[in-house]
Structure 1
Amino acid sequence: MSEAGLAQAVEKMEQAGVSPAAISVFSHYYQVLEGEHTGFIPEETISPLTSVDSLADAQVSPEQARESLSKTVMIKLNGGLGTSMGMDKAKSLLPVRSGLTFLDIICRQVLAARQSYGVKLPLIFMDSFRTQADTLAALEKHPGIQVDDLPLDFLQNQEPKLRADDLTPVSWDKDPSLEWCPPGHGDIYTALFGSGLLDKLIDAGYRYAMTSNSDNLGATPSPEIAGWFASSGAPYAAELCTRTVNDRKGGHLAIRESDGQLILRDTAQTPPEQMDYFTDEHRHPFFHTNNLWFDLLKLRDALVERNAVLGLPLIANHKTVDPSDPDSPAVIQMETAMGAAIASFAGATAILVPRSRFLPVKTTNELTLVRSDIYELGEDFHLRQVNDRNVEVDLDSHFFKKIADFESRFAFGVPSLRDANSFKVSGAFTFGRNVKVVGDVALSAEGEQMVPDNTTLSE
């Protein structure tokens, strides 16, 4: 092991005030990185998960649901900048509908649930050092969202990027902030523990946490799932949806043959020659939504027992220290995935939920859908689909990938998609007011094109 490299990294973290728990976890993964690890989960080592509890079949009384929700805290992962869409601030601050951002809608969803069920339901964001200031400023517009003396956010840890050649902490005088990176959203457990927030939540009487990505407006407060989870007695649970042909890339749960433990497998953990198994929606019929529930007491017990190290699989992310400069030094960012913690808890379980709880926005294709008239925003600020079909959107990434380009080409709003089956655009199209898509529409042309006001596009 490169003892000098690890010592330098630890010293750098200590000087930056990183928590001892985070340093312990970093040291663990540094040693894993230096060892022989492929990270692969071969098909022959697992059995497909073919049956799972369904929310539709859960027997939860209204009293049990409300009581369980009263002991629940909502945590939203909010460390992403939306850089893939050309953003330089928290993606949750992107307007989605009626001028409301992801963050605005999430706050309103929580406030509506508090009023409906008579619970406190704290809302807490896990920010990164790049999203915290903007997020806290935006939350000032929601003065009623804070609960008692609980914080509105906690910080994801930071760790040094490591030089790919010798695993020492990289130096980058042009922008020293680029010497640091977040450890992936698997850091949520370490950050809760090391910040003292986990103890504070438990001391305040909370027992359960529901966690999801801030760009998934489908992951709303659910007293029914809270009641199911509380009655299950499980330390940890994942929400799953039924896989379709369009969900072949999403991670899935499986049963480890060696001990019967539930585990999460993603594409990066599948041997290339076995990808046919991974993408087979009949063999692996459910996908992982990254909506997770965990028991705060049992999480704390596990972290104390294991010196903050849950042992999640390492993701070694190879990049350059300056992502915008391919000639800058090659680095490795050590990361983990939040959902992989299911393998760290004996008795962990899962529940099948409606597709409506999975509405992530990773690209402008998905942003088009949630902004369209396919959905309506209810009084409880839940997005509800009003048509009975799944619409495929595929926008030319050369002209629509960045949010600034997307906004300029849909300056008057995205087209009506309520009667569409698919909407594909190849080329530099700009759309006028009141454009409607019917059936399967594919636009393709060279040069700048304008779709006039009040146009109906059809097959």
Structure 2
Amino acid sequence: MSDAAGLQAAQTKMQEAGVSQAAIDVFTHYYGELEAGATGLILEETIEPLTDPAKLADVEITDEAANEALARTAIIKLNGGLGTSMGMDRAKSLLPVRDGKSFLDLIAEQITKARETTGARLPLLLMNSFRTSEDSLAELAEHEDLAIDGLPLDFLQNKEPKLLVDGLTPAEWPQDPELEWCPPGHGDIYTAILASGALDALLDAGFRYACVSNSDNLGAVPNAKLAGWFAASGAPYAAELCPRTAMDRKGGHLAIRKSDGQLILRDTAQTADDEMHFFTDEFHHPYFHTNNLWWDLEKLKQALTERGAVLGLPLIRNKKTVDPTDKESPEVFQIETAMGAAIEVFEGATAIVVGRDRFLPVKTTNELLLLRSDAYTLDSDGALRLAVRKAPTIDLDSDHYKTVEDFDRHFPYGVPSLKEASSLTVYGDWTFGKNVTVVGTVVLEDDNGEPNFVNDNTVLEGGIVEG
């Protein structure tokens, strides 16, 4: 099959599945880039590190101006993830985090508390996938008065065909036809919010700004000072950054493109293998990208309209197998883009350094253990914040704790106290009893390969515990 026929087959497949024309147009754009051999790599010689961005701690703004800006702000959460890396098959945001409350429960409470405190309307919109929408909306339905008349609580992310590496034709997998499809990455949010009508609905309701973040990041609470700073900046777009540490070497970072001085985002998939030492050097690129974004909705609508919904974000070409669990299944390309890469589309886009408390993602059960522990407290604004000077380092054996099901089985009475811990490393199969306390640096070793137990009321105090 020729490349032209491959593209036609993919377009027809999307049309028959009811995918919007705007999403098909965007896919067509990136198919052309992929066909031309684009890899999406950003070479170190083409960029300069971002070393002196604005800092929220230095911002001075009146409460009146801050609250006025927040009153015109919408909160948007990326909620399409299924938590498959943690063994889940539904929205990760439905996972219980504190006191039986899920991410979505806590987000809804954050919105409600911010409305009570500031008087802002603060609509909440989720970008769901077709697999997360029903359950997530059912969860939010339990929070009365959350929805705002005339505005949806969600809009749907698009889907696109996986393309065979050999021939760039749509993959076929009759054993599970769902595996023939993939999401276009969270960069699809721009196409989806336009094509769904959600962007126009927000503008018609008088909203000018949006704060966008991941639904598994409970640190990104509504913030009037940030809203006020963004409104006063006049920028069309802004990204929140945090100082990088050795723990943040895998996260994407902003840089300055030498050719035109424009801010850009570079992720690991856009870094050449022989240049990863630049990417992972937290001193060379000292700030990481939190994926908390601010948009001027009017300027976003203008850009999307002018470009026919094709913002032209940098391509991310992901090579995988059509069935991720079967390495012998055919190799495919997944065409993706990153939401944060839109920073290079908007002239005058900017960034601001915020406190680490605004970045609290849960990607593994290591982070889940921390958030469920007494190392964090639930503040009056609904945010989870550190209750200790520094969060302890957690490293759970992935052979026994990787999935949420395995994790919960090993902590049947709840997680241990960590407020006096420096680090907890677990090797092997350990089940924790009631009222366990970790103090200092603790390593649980597994010498026999058999299940081990930490008894009720045990204090694990600094050192190695052998099973």
Q: TM-score range by the shorter chain?
A: over 0.9
Q: What SS does the aligned partner of 2:451 have?
A: strand
Partner of 2:392: 391
Partner of 1:147: 148
Distance 1:191 1:135 in 2: 18
Partner of 1:371: 372
Q: What SS does the aligned partner of 2:206 have?
A: coil
Matched, 1:419 2:410: no
Partner of 2:351: 350
Distance 1:58 1:273 in 2: 39
For residues 411-435 of structure 1, the C-alpha deviation after alignment (integer angstroms, 9 at most, x for no partner) is: 1111111011111001100000111
Displacement, 1:68?
0.6
Distance 2:253 2:177 in 1: 38
| Mapping for residues 81-230 of structure 1, pairs under 5 Å | 81-230=82-231
Task: Give the letter for the 1:56 counterpart.
Answer: A
Matched, 1:453 2:456: yes
Q: What SS does the aligned partner of 2:146 have?
A: coil
Displacement, 1:37?
2.0
For residues 88-124 of structure 1, the C-alpha deviation after alignment (integer angstroms, 9 at most, x for no partner) is: 1000000000000000000000000011000110001
Task: Give the letter for the 1:144 counterpart.
Answer: D
For residues 71-98 of structure 1, the C-alpha deviation after alignment (integer angstroms, 9 at most, x for no partner) is: 1110000000000100010000000000
8 A contact 2:83–2:92 mirrored in 1: yes
For residues 142-195 of structure 1, the C-alpha deviation after alignment (integer angstroms, 9 at most, x for no partner) is: 121101121110000011111221111122222222222110100000001111
Distance 2:34 2:92 in 1: 30
Partner of 2:52: 51
Displacement, 1:136?
1.2
Partner of 2:281: 280
Say which is worse superposed, 172-181 or 49-58, in terms of deviation: 172-181
8 A contact 2:270–2:316 mirrored in 1: no
Distance 2:38 2:21 in 1: 25
Distance 1:323 1:271, change over 3 A: closer
Partner of 2:465: none
Q: What SS does the aligned partner of 1:373 have?
A: coil
Partner of 2:36: 35
Q: What SS does the aligned partner of 1:129 have?
A: coil
Distance 1:458 1:116 in 2: 42
Distance 1:328 1:398 in 2: 24
Distance 1:108 1:175 in 2: 38
| Mapping for residues 242-321 of structure 1, pairs under 5 Å | 242-321=243-322
Say which is worse superposed, 263-272 or 221-230, in terms of deviation: 263-272
Task: Give the letter for the 1:447 counterpart.
Answer: E
Distance 1:329 1:263 in 2: 33
Partner of 2:71: 70
Give percent identity, aligned residues only: 62
Say which is worse superposed, 213-222 or 29-38, in terms of deviation: 29-38
Task: Give the letter for the 1:227 counterpart.
Answer: G
TM-score, normalization: structure 1? 0.98
Distance 1:38 1:163 in 2: 16
Distance 1:417 1:264 in 2: 35
For residues 236-288 of structure 1, the C-alpha deviation after alignment (integer angstroms, 9 at most, x for no partner) is: 00000011122111111110000000001112222222222222211211111
Q: What SS does the aligned partner of 2:445 have?
A: strand
Displacement, 1:199?
1.1
Distance 1:139 1:245 in 2: 37
Distance 2:167 2:122 in 1: 47
Task: Give the letter for the 1:420 counterpart.
Answer: A
Q: What SS does the aligned partner of 1:379 have?
A: coil
Displacement, 1:326?
2.9
Aligned residues: 459
Distance 2:136 2:147 in 1: 14
Distance 2:55 2:389 in 1: 21
8 A contact 2:39–2:315 mirrored in 1: no
The RMSD of aligned alpha carbons is 1.1
Q: What SS does the aligned partner of 2:288 have?
A: strand
Q: Which runs of 4+ in 1 moved over 6 A?
A: none
Q: What SS does the aligned partner of 1:458 have?
A: strand
Q: What SS does the aligned partner of 2:427 have?
A: strand
Task: Give the letter for the 1:127 counterpart.
Answer: N
Distance 1:41 1:438 in 2: 44
Task: Give the letter for the 2:317 counterpart.
Answer: A
Task: Give the letter for the 2:443 counterpart.
Answer: A
8 A contact 2:150–2:201 mirrored in 1: no
TM-score, normalization: structure 2? 0.96
